Structure 1
Amino acid sequence: MREVHIAGAAVHPFGKSRGKTAADLGYDAVTRLLTTTSIGPDLIDVGYCGSSYGGSLLAQRVLQRVGVSGQPVYTVENACASGASALHLAWQAVASGAADCAVAFGTENLSGFGGGALPLTTNDIEIELGLVMPAAYAMRAQRHLHDFGATEADLTMVSIKNRRNGAANPRAHFQAEVSADQVENSRPVADPLRLLHCCPNSDGAAAVLVCSSDLAREIGTPTVRIRASVVRSGRFHTSYRDMTWPDITARTAEAAYEMAGVRPSDLDLVELHDAFSIAELLHAEALGIAARGKAHRAIADGEFDRDGRVAVSPSGGLLSRGHPVGATGVVQVCETYWQLTGQAGRLQVPAASVGLTHVTGGGIYGVDNGACAVHILTSD
């Protein structure tokens, strides 16, 4: 397997883009990427697009507009892990030698759904009975708070931290800090979660250029190395489900650490799937950056702050940056790329050299999540 590098990143800022389709947003992000890296479309061997709601042949509809025509391109749907799964396939193509240069992007426009919870897969017994993602995470929160002594105030601290980080991110949906009173007085969604414990439905797109070492040197832009790219699906079972332990995250992360040859203690920053405030506690523990049941203490002690032991969601995470489903896994990598190349500006984590991105999602019967992707990037 060859070394694989990211030689460029670009984002269409997240927020509400009514009147723009997912293809429009993706076109903007990919165009910015090609401009940033100064490469022509003929150099791209293969393209991968991640999206859950963008419709069929979305990859073609975006890439043909930028001049990538005739090359193999693929649209990938893997729930919230769609964009990261697209990146994983791009990594596979370059690592195997099947391609020297690939574009991986994710794009989504969720404005058309209006407000409220996103629609989930049909013909699923739990969803047919009324399960929506806020309710699923509320159950996880209730159990975690019960078992480990955390409180709703600890959930609120996650929102405060990530909204504070996002306030400095020009690409974020929300660019304002919030107080504890604002969070705790926001309207109830699913006990104990309130509105500001939940990420917004956003529109947006993100793209990265994935290439071999030789081509990365030719392009000449700052690069980072993909040390690990791992995707896993949930294990099906109908027995007891531990709502406090995201097994899919733990398994995916373990495989990624082994592939990269690093440990959780080596990480300088983590962009994780904080779709709800409780998710940061659950996934931080499953990723091994906090002991089980202790993540709320790490947050309270400032260990996950931008200048703490390991910066968690220094870009603002989903809670502040937003969650256009197909784009989330790619924008996490964009943010990490800028961190590791010293281009993060006000978001910069001091001396960052190792970063991990994590995204998981897909509520279906019998598994804790449908798909999970973890990438580990380094500055060398």
Structure 2
Amino acid sequence: MQDIYIHGGAMTPFGRHPGVLAPELAQQAILKALADADVPAGRIQAVYCANVLGGMILGQLIVRDLGLKGIPVYNVENACASGATGVHLARHALLAGQYDTVLVFGIEQLTALGGGTIPLQRNDHKTDLYAKSGMVLPAVYAMRGTRFLHERDANPSDLAEVAVKNRYHGSLNPYAQQRKTTTVEEVLASRMIADPLTLLQCCPSQVDGAASVVLSTRRPAQARPVKVLSSVVVSGMREEADDDILDAEITARAARQAYEQAGLGPQDVDVVELHDAFTIAELLYYEALGLAPRGDAVALLKSGATRLGGRVPVNPSGGLLAKGHPLGATGVAQMVEILWQLQGRAGERQVADTRIGLTQCTGGGIAGVDHAASSVHLLGV
């Protein structure tokens, strides 16, 4: 199979960017990624723009002023998995030989929405039970958290430990929205959002940001060129009445396919960026990704294995809990973080001796399925 390389990547700081329009924010990430890749804009043969809430033809609007004239622009929306899906589609086109060098970027400006939770389904209040009943993601994950505490004989402090870890990692990341460390006591004392999830156990909803990568079949002239070893996107399957809400089936299925595609296993992974929109999500994904056997997620966390300096650091960027979650940008930003980690460019949060990195991003809530979409990528040097 043709090797696919990440020639370069960049992102903007995640946070509030008052007075900066979404196209400007995206252009910052794009231009920095092109410079990082040492690839002129004229060599880009196609553009993939990932965005959820920014409206029609956003990609064309963004690249209009960048000298990328007349090339295909694909606008990709797949909820929180939009950025990862954009990379997946770009890889398909490269493998097919349709292009040899493409640009993928994600952009979201959630501050423009004015606050509040992100709706599960904006356009389907008649046919989707979750949307019709006003269900929101904090409530969905709170149910998982409640079941987890009951079934695994865990404590609320176990959930809080995830926030403590990721806030510490975020304190080392200049691109993170939240750069203040916290304690278990502070996490548990923060405002209750949906029992047992408190404010500091939920990713910030007021965040803007953009991220971009340059992908190519050409081998870059770098000391540690990073390859996309596998790329998987799957959709959720309709659940039966007795399905286990702690079984992140869609992510486990995507992970199995990604490992098989790359000829690797969980034991080969050195660093992970996963979709910790809520603390309970990270614990469930430890098991779905094969980092811990079923029932051992808390033990893995408490062992320190997923902290910087541990066996397999998870979310060294701070994850969604600290770095922030501008929907369309998240999946691409995860790849940028792993690119930097594999090339030894992650500064204070650098994971030692990395060869293989994994990114995982889920997206969308629909009644009757685990998630609407899930994506897993394996990157390696």
Does the alignment reach a TM-score above 0.5? Answer: yes
Post-superposition CA distance 1:314-341 (Å, at most 9, x none): 1110000000000000000000000001
RMSD of aligned residue pairs (Cα, Å): 1.2
Counterpart-to-counterpart distance in 2, 1:148 and 1:179: 23
Match of 1:95 in 2: 95
Query: 1:169 aligned to 2:173?
Result: yes
What SS is found at the alignment partner of 2:300? helix
Q: Which residue of 1 aligns with 2:269?
A: 267
Deviation at 1:18, TM superposition (A): 2.7
One of 122, 133, 138 as aligned partner of 2:137: 133
For the 8 Å contact 2:120–2:130, the answer to whether it is kept is: no
Residue identity opposite 1:369 in structure 2: H
Tell me which of 190, 193, 209 is aligned to 1:189: 193
- Compare 28-37 and 81-90 and name the one that shifted more: 28-37
* Deviation of the 1:185 alpha carbon: 0.8
Match of residue 297 from structure 1: 299
Contact 1:23 1:54 in 2 (8 A): no
Distance 1:238 1:297 in 2: 30
> Does the 8 Å contact 1:2/1:97 carry over to 2?
no
Q: How does 1:312-351 map to 2 (within 5 A)?
A: 312-351=314-353
- The corresponding residue for 2:44 is 44
> Over residues 207-263 of structure 1, what are the superposed CA-to-partner deviations in whole Å (9 max), with x where a residue is unaligned?
00000134x24xx58520000010001012453331101100000000000001111
Amino acid across the alignment from 2:346: A
Question: Alignment partner of 2:354: what SS?
Answer: coil
| Partner of residue 160 from structure 2, selected from 137, 156, 159 | 156
Greater shift, 192-201 or 234-243, is seen at 234-243
- Could you say what secondary structure the match of 1:54 adopts? coil
The answer to whether the Cα contact below 8 Å between 1:144 and 1:243 also exists between their aligned partners in 2 is no
Would you identify which runs of 4 or more consecutive aligned residues in structure 1 move more than 6 Å? none
| TM-score calculated relative to the size of structure 2 | 0.96
Note the C-alpha offset of 1:190.
Answer: 0.1
Letter in structure 2 aligned against 1:289: L
Per the TM alignment, residue 106 of structure 1 is displaced from its structure 2 partner at its CA by 0.4
- Aligned match of 1:240: 242
Gaps of 5+ in 2: none
- Report if aligned partners of 2:239, 2:370 keep a CA contact under 8 Å in 1: no
Secondary structure, counterpart of 2:26 in structure 1 = helix
Alignment deviations for residues 113-155 of structure 1 (CA, whole Å, 9 cap, x no partner):
2232112313222121021000000001111111111111001
Are 2:6 and 2:227, in contact at CA under 8 Å, matched by a contact in 1? yes
Q: Which residue of 1 aligns with 2:204?
A: 200
1:36-64 Cα shifts (integer Å, max 9, x gaps): 22322110011101110111111111122
Partner Cα distance (2:45, 2:242) in 1:
46
Is the contact between residue 358 and residue 377 of structure 2 (CA under 8 Å) also seen in structure 1?
A: yes
Which residue is 1:226 aligned to?
228
* Alignment-derived partner of residue 5 in structure 2: 5
**What SS is found at the alignment partner of 1:231?**
strand
Of the structure 1 ranges 124-133 and 316-325, higher mean CA displacement relative to structure 2 is found in: 124-133
Contact 2:273-2:316 within 8 A present in 1 as well: yes
Is this contact kept in 1: 2:9–2:34, CA < 8 A? no
Aligned residues: 376
Structure 2 CA distance for aligned equivalents of residues 150 and 350 of structure 1: 31
Bigger shift: residues 203-212 or 120-129: 120-129
